[in-house]
Amino acid sequence: MAKEIKVAFAGARRSSGFFNAFRVHPETEIVALCDINEVALAEAGKTHGITNLYTVYEKMLDDAKPDVVVIATPMQLHATQAIAALQRGIHVLSEVTAAVSLDEARWLVQACKKSAALYVMAENYTYMRSNVLVRSLVDAGLFGEVYYAEGEYIHELSALHHTPDGQPTWRYYWQVGINGCTYPTHSLGPCLQWIKERPQYISCIGSGRWTDPEHAMEDTVLLLCKTTSGKLMRVRVDMLSKRPHAMTNYTLQGTKGAYESARRPGEGNWVWIEGYCSDPNQWLPLEQFADFLPEPWRNPPPEALQAGHEGGDYFEVVDFVDAIQGRTLPSVGIHEAMDMTLPGLISQESIARGGEWLPVPDSREW
């Protein structure tokens, strides 16, 4: 099969997580890479055999003429770079979050409406094997009506707040330099896919600044989301507290069962499901229900087994290519991306107003 889809990348370091999946896909060809850091650009080009290198993003789009651009740059660039691609009719696979302001979010949605190209947000935690399996159990009705879910992203990132020469990085300004739930999508994304309703109202509160008061963001930030039918989600984001990482903590509760993810390395994921557990206090390993996984996940190719995020980085690319080829709908299209991004943007106002409950715009009405 001819490799008919030309793919360009923006962001040399983070793009490396996508290179292999696009390289082994039978329909895609990597044609260009862009980064403003010439050293990182040259190193990535040499490592991955990419010779068409650029330091100006728009020049790459215009000269390389890709069919797809993968945006893996700092988060404050995502929306404007996605809009530039969409205006040229180039499909977009964008890292999270989709935007860093409400204005940007609206501009991005409008650009999607005007473009024939497809926008997909690369929320790879929704593709992690354990989260896909839980979603499959939800779809099969094993949990009954799901009415509560929670996710936690606890990831101490102080080592990434400055460059080796002491200059503040984008994370210093955009992740911990703003108070609120600035990075919610890894936690909120899977929960939204389990509950299957958009967040209609949110409230955000914080713990105060104790670990490193230099930053605007409070050490632990809690985001509560009420959905259109009144279901509840809770998200904890903590990128400052001194402790081991715990980026994939999840809980789900339904009328017929519950899910509790592993909390520490080496622990398992557990479910309690009515009719499967004879004892009301008996938890079963999530893997015991692996037969509910979609077929590609039950018999993954070697490329998936080698990919990051439990194979999610591979299947994310497969789904994206299927979507732009019209074989399926995108899992995280523009409106799903807004459902995952907008609560975090509104949280900045809520936390400033003492946790006041505020409405979340529905991008489908923009």
Q: What tens digit of pLDDT does each residue of 125-173 get?
A: 999 999 999 999 999 999 999 999 999 999 999 999 999 999 999 999 9
Percent of the chain at pLDDT above 70? 99
Q: Domains of the chain (ranges plus CATH)?
A: 5-124 (3.40.50.720), 125-297+331-359 (3.30.360.10)
pLDDT band for 316, please (50, 70, 90 cuts).
Answer: very high
Q: Cis check for the bond before 97: say yes or no (omega within 30 of 0).
A: yes
pLDDT of residue 2: 63
**Full-model pTM:** 0.97
Token pair in block for residue 293: 């996984």
pLDDT of 328 > 80? The answer is: yes
What is the β-pairing status of strands 270-273 and 284-285?
antiparallel
**pLDDT, tens digit, for every residue of 259-301?**
999 999 999 999 999 999 989 999 999 999 999 999 999 988 8
User: Of how many residues is the chain composed?
Assistant: 366
Q: Are 7 and 70 in contact (CB under 8 A)?
A: yes
pLDDT of residue 1: 52
> What is the mean predicted confidence (pLDDT) over 244-260?
98
* Per-chain mean pLDDT for the chain: 97
pLDDT band for 308, please (50, 70, 90 cuts).
Answer: confident
Distance CA 355, CA 350 (A): 5
- What b/e readout covers 30-54, taking b as 16+ CB neighbours within 10 angstroms? bbbbbbeeeeebeebbeebebeebb
pLDDT of residue 218: 99
**pLDDT, tens digit, for every residue of 42-58?**
999 999 999 999 999 99
Q: Are 234 and 150 in contact (CB under 8 A)?
A: yes
Please state the φ and ψ torsions of residue 301, each to the nearest 5 degrees: -70, 165
Distance CA 31, CA 177 (A): 36
